[in-house]
């Protein structure tokens, strides 16, 4: 989703909740426009949107001054949670402080976004350029030492004549295959 796509949400005047998680390309301007035009909006969940800063919080304060209502902003893993506020440490285990309206609830700690569903997610487990890849494990040249003299043994079809009823000790009618 882009900023222009999200700004089209401003036409939905009855919008109550907006969820746009894990989208690194979104900026604060469409969220500010949605806060100004959607007067029934109660929640914005933009966790994982990297470019969102404190401008969304300022826009929410402005929207609450004109039309008071309870609004929850979930902005964990955004620039608002990481850069704009003071850093968290063990002495002050509180949320970064912002001047907020009394009806505004900020959630800057609980990241609800799934990093595997992000558009910029790269799976590093099976990286093609890694030296520790599993491609060389299944290289057939490694098995030539073991199979060179015994190729005929593995290709023997004598096992087709075995009577599996005698080997298993039960008649085939009583076997249960799951």
Is 126 domain-assigned? no
Residue 58 sits in the same domain as residue 145? no
Q: Lowest-confidence range among 37-46, 84-93, 136-145?
A: 84-93
Q: Give CA–CA dist 157/146, Å, rounded.
A: 20
Between 140 and 78, the more confident residue is 78
Share of the chain above pLDDT 90, in %: 35
Residue 157 lies in domain: 140-174
Residue 83 sits in the same domain as residue 150? no
75: Cα within 13 Å, side-chain hemisphere: 29
Residue 105 sits in the same domain as residue 157? no
pTM over 0.75: no
DSSP labels, 21-78: -S-TT--HHHHHHHHHH-TT--EEE-TT-TT--THHHHHHHHHHHHS---EEEE-TTS
For residue 81, what pLDDT is reported? Answer: 83
- Work out how many domains the chain is built from and give that number: 2
Is 133 domain-assigned? no
Is 132 domain-assigned? no
For residue 8, what pLDDT is reported? Answer: 92
- Nearest one of 71, 56, 66 to 102, comparing CA atoms: 71
Residue 147 sits in the same domain as residue 65? no
Is 8 domain-assigned? yes
Q: Please, which pLDDT band fits residue 109 given cuts at 50, 70 and 90?
A: confident
Is 12 domain-assigned? yes
């Amino acid at each position: 989703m882009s900023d222009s796509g999200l700004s089209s949400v401003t036409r939905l005047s009855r919008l109550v909740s907006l969820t746009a998680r894990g989208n690194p390309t979104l900026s604060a301007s469409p969220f500010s426009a949605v806060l100004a035009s959607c007067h029934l909006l109660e929640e914005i969940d933009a966790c994982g949107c990297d470019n969102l800063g404190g401008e969304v919080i300022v826009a929410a304060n402005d929207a609450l001054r004109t039309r008071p209502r309870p609004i929850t902003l979930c902005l964990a893993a955004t620039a608002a949670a990481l850069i704009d506020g003071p850093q968290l440490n063990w002495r002050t285990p509180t949320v970064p402080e912002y001047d907020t309206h009394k009806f505004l609830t900020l959630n800057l700690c609980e990241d609800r976004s799934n990093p595997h569903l992000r558009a910029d997610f790269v799976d590093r487990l099976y990286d093609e350029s890694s030296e520790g890849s599993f491609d060389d494990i299944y290289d057939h040249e490694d098995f030539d030492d073991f199979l060179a003299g015994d190729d005929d043994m593995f290709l023997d079809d004598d096992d087709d004549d075995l009577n599996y009823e005698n080997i298993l000790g039960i008649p085939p009618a009583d076997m249960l295959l799951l």
